[in-house]
Structures are given as C-alpha cells and as structure tokens.
Structure 1
Amino acid sequence: MDLKESDILGADIGRHWYYRSKARAIAQTLAGFEAQRILDVGAGSGFFSRYLLAHTGAREAWCVDISYEADSDRCEAGKAVYYRRAVEQLDADLVLLMDVLEHVDDDRGLLRDYAAKVPAGSRFLITVPAFQWLWSGHDVFLEHRRRYTLGQLESVVSDAGLRVIGGHYYFGAVLPLAAMLRLVQRLRGPQPPSSQLTRHGSLSNSLLSGVCRVELPFMCRNRVGGLSVFCLAEK
C-alpha cells in the first residue's frame, strides 16, 4: 500500500470506495483460512492488515515498510500492530504484499526474500495493478515499474518458489470506466504525473462500493479482467 495515497485520503481512507472494496475482496479471498499472525510487507499505514485484525480472528500484525521513520507499536481492535522498518525471521502464517511488487526492479527476488523469512505452510496474498495498457501518469506518480496480467503475476509467484493456490482479477465492473478515462487522458496529450485517487462524497462512495460488492461472489472465477490482480499462494 502506497503512503502517497494514504496521505491524500487521510482519515477518509476507510470510507473510500476503493479501499473499502479491496479490503472486502481480501477477506473474501482468504475465506476459510484463519490467519493468526500477519506479516504485511510494504504495508504503508497498515490499512489492510488492520482491517483483518478488526474483522477476523487474527491476533497480531507486523507491518514492514522502509518508509517508516522509526519502529513503533500500536493496537487495532485490542490487538498488537508492530510497525518495523525490517524483520528477519517471523513465525507468520499470512504474508500480505498489497500493491508492492510493481514498485521493485526484482519482484521475484523480493518474494524469495520474504518466503525465506516465514515457515513452510505460510500463505501469501499478493495484489498488483492490472494491464500495462492502463499505464498512466498515476503509475509514474506512484513510482511503479510495471503493471501485470494474471498470468504474469502467477509466473512471478511460481518462479519465487511458491505454490499458486488461485488467482483472479477484481474491480472488473469499473474496468470500462477506467479504460475510458485513460483514453481521454491520452487524447489530451502528455500530462504531469499525478495521482488519480480523489476523495468522494457519500453518494459516489456508496454507489461505487455497491457496484464492486456485487462482483464479490463471482470474483474468484474472474480470470478475464479488472483493475487489480490477486494471487493466493503457499510456501
């Protein structure tokens, strides 16, 4: 999760349709798996691991991000959240990499590194932005290296030595709208890099959240398209 985006939304992040919908999709993807200790890599504010602490039986979360100025300890729903600049070995049974791999040159190497830090049987839930043809100034602003197809992400995960359990796209319902906006931007000519994430009023947040919620029951069978790629894997 990018700290630049959490800085834009501030306290409104939990109400924003994109983050609310993605948190629900994460919980849906993990349905039936009861994680106890979460390792959240490139966690930023730790929004997604804190969501899982508040809505599941997970007991604690370790949020790791080199952007933190110092290590700190906090609580979410009465459960411990440890913010760290780095970790060595950790007995975590769930590793989150929420929109992290697209930021690094060696995505396979980063996955191998964190796979070596956790025990066998640990689950990995990975999300990345979908489709290089959706590339825009938003990606430049967030310092992305690339976007992925589902097949490309699954290949990266397998090459890193993890077993792919399943993969799918999400935000398929809003993909046509995003594609149209990208086309309009390109017709306007070059624009300075900037985030396309904006705050929404209660009506638009409710409408977009509702559209994405309809998609949830069918999400895990969507191998066609969406704005995000999800992959669930195991060490």
Structure 2
Amino acid sequence: MRLHVLQHVPFEGPARIGDWAGRRGHALATSHLYAGDPPPALEDFDGLVIMGGPMSVHDEAEHSWLGAEKACIENAIAAGRPLIGVCLGAQLIAQALGAAVTKNAEREIGWFPIELTAEAQAEPCCAGLPARFDALHWHGERFDIPAGALHLARSQACDAQAFLYQGRVLGLQCHLESMPGSVAALCEHCADELSPGPFVQTAGEMCAAPPAAFEQVHAVLEQLLDAVMPSGGPA
C-alpha cells in the first residue's frame, strides 16, 4: 500500500507509524506542507497519514496550505481511502466529516490515562486492547465525534479521544505514535505551551516515561493501524 504523510511542522513526523509502515511493506511518502509541498493527487496514494501540529484547523489565514490539505482529505474520504489522523490530523478529519473542532475545557499535555468506550470494547479492531492505559497528549482544542463514527476512547480532560468511521478512517486525539525522540522534540519546540494547568505535565515528567509506556501505546497503535490499513491492499 502507498501511504502518504501530510506533515505540518518539522518536529512532528510519523514516528512509530513510519516504523510500522516499513515492517508491513507499505511505501511511505511525505508532503512537508509547512515547506511548500503540495498535497498529493488522489491517484498518487492509497492511504493518508495526517500528523499533528501546533496550529488550529481554523488557521487558514496564517497557513494558506490548510485549504488544499482539507480538500485532499475530503477527496480521500469520498474516494473510500483509508486515513489515520493524529491530534491536528484527527481534528482535520473530523471537520471534513462535518464535526465541530473547538477549544477544549483544559489544555491536556502529558501522559494521562485514556479508557476505551463500551462501543470500542465490542468492536473487532479493539479486541484484546487494554480497557485503560496511559497515552501522551498535547492539545488545547478538541473534535466532536462525527455523525456515523464509532466513539472509541475518552480521557478525564477530553471525552473525544478517538473515533473510527466506516472501519477505515481513524482519528486519534492522543499521540500513540510517540517515541522518546518525538516527545523530546515536542517539549523543545512547544515549550511555551507548558504553563501550569490541571492536566499539564512538565517536560521532565513527559520525557521520563519508561520504555514500557511506549511499548504499550505502540502495541495499541499497531493493532488499530493493521485494522484500518491492512497489508495486501492496493499498491
């Protein structure tokens, strides 16, 4: 399968998603939208991976490429392509599906528990996943669950943590793709967002996460990716 990454800033790349794609034999290309790369044409990819970023889905005046990216996402959904969006990427997908993206009641930055919904626990793609586990979060906005989508997970600070639409479109508010280096990069480049709050950890706390924390979120991520973007798809 030819996967195409839409990247919004240099320091938020596919991380563990890239490792997973390589092991599954998926080709991986990237449009660095912040650097002027255009989104890919529909015929040039089989699935989209849409990463996070510090901007908002509403910031088209500051980031003119957002308009073309939104059209790419809408076209991919309409064409039946599989998609995964992380944080900003999930918000862009939710907006494309008609859901609102608004300010969250609290900023959620750090390792905090998420729990699967009852609907998710009955969904085959979530079979065997832990009902509750810690994940990395870094967001001040949130998406509503799109109409017709399955609500997969919630946290104390944000009820809408994940959704699945038509079994092929996955939105993740949290960062299951994170690796130690990508967490450190977020802490370096977005340090201005680390003012105290009830759901805001320090950079030291985030970077001190043990290997087991990453292993758990990566196992969850890869099970979901295998369900949404199975090997042996179009090439």
Task: Tell me, yes or no, whether TM beats 0.5.
Answer: no
TM-score, normalising length from structure 2? 0.40
Report the structure, 1 or 2, having the larger strand content.
2
Compare CA radii of gyration and give the structure with the larger one. Answer: 1
- Structure number with higher helix proportion: 1
